[in-house]
Amino acid sequence: MSLRVGIVGISGFGGGEALRLIAGHPSFDLVYAAGDGSAGRRLVDRFPGVAPRLADLVIERWVPESLPPLDVLLASLPTGTSAAALARVPPEVKIVDLGGDHRYAEGWTYGLADIWPDRIVGRSRIANPGCFPAAALTALAPLLAEGLIEPGHIVIDGKTGISGAGRGGGDSRFGYAESNENLVPYGLLQHVHMPEIAGTIEQLSGGSAAGLVFTPHLVPMTRGLLATIYCRGRATTAQCLAAARRFYAGRAFIRVTDAPPQTKWATGSNLAFVSYAADPGRNLVMAMGVVDNLGKGAAGQAVQNANLICCLPEGTGLEGAPVWP
């Protein structure tokens, strides 16, 4: 079976990673590529290493009304730019939106694929989680589901590679001279990922996420994301690890490790690593989550969601090992 797939925003980092994954997917056939900044160019002009069979596919200007026949559309557009355009896509075309416009929006399913896969199977409109939520919520979910931590007053310290900021824009923080040997906090108190993190904490726990603090940082590496999360709870480290192993039993992309995870473990993959450290005497539980911000944090999870909505095995095309070193 070959399903016709399109990618919008293919010129960006998320779209480019989606291209890499779709190009090697045994059931997906890339037939449409759009990106206003590269419209009129062939894929090989933008991505010289692309597979020969895709080399001459011309990148088109994004016009929803002019789509060719498609089964699935992956949209990798900046938050705030996709809602109006995707509303004009024909309803028979399934959509996975990598941007932030549809997370917890009416008519869209939040695509946290390793936690709620059954909610995704067969749906037609999927909002891919953000990169920080992908790491933080994967680490928190087992503890919240078993009541090992309080849902309120959680503190999330997130660090991501520069590619997490996207390819476009003119912000000087993202240039080599500004980012090299530099650590930059941003989005203080009002980051765009806060609502989906809080909403998911409340769904998983049945309680209030009041007092949630989330501070992201840009670090001088290309890709990779680590969320270190501080919670209130009396559980032991062993109890947290056991809860995670039960919660993710049989889940192909989650690794529960005794040792604190490292960003390089996930590079180039759809894997997520979680671990825990707890001190019951201090009412403290630390949860750690690692993903590749372009993999599980973006295109990897998007392809996993595309597999689910097309009723394919969710790991199809995603079995590759991380890049090391």
What is the SS3 assignment for 134?
Answer: helix
* Known catalytic residue at 240: no
What is the SS3 assignment for 109?
Answer: strand
Amino acid code (one letter) for 318:
L
Q: Is 164 exposed, middle or buried (0-12, 13-18, 19+ CB in 10 A)?
A: buried
Q: How far apart are CA 229 and CA 209, in angstroms?
A: 14
Amino acid code (one letter) for 90:
P
- Quick one: tokens of 104? 């917890």
**What would the DSSP string read from start to end of 269-319?**
SS-EEEEEEEEGGGTEEEEEEEE-TTIIIIIHHHHHHHHHHTTS-TTTT--
Q: Which of 131, 231, 240, 310 is catalytic?
A: 131
Amino acid code (one letter) for 228:
T
- CB-based contacts of 118: which residues, under 8 Å, 6+ apart? none
Q: How far apart are CA 232 and CA 150, in angstroms?
A: 6
Task: Tell me how many degrees the CA angle 122-199-105 measures, rounded to the nearest 5.
Answer: 50
Q: How far apart are the first and last CA of the chain?
A: 35
Known catalytic residues are 131
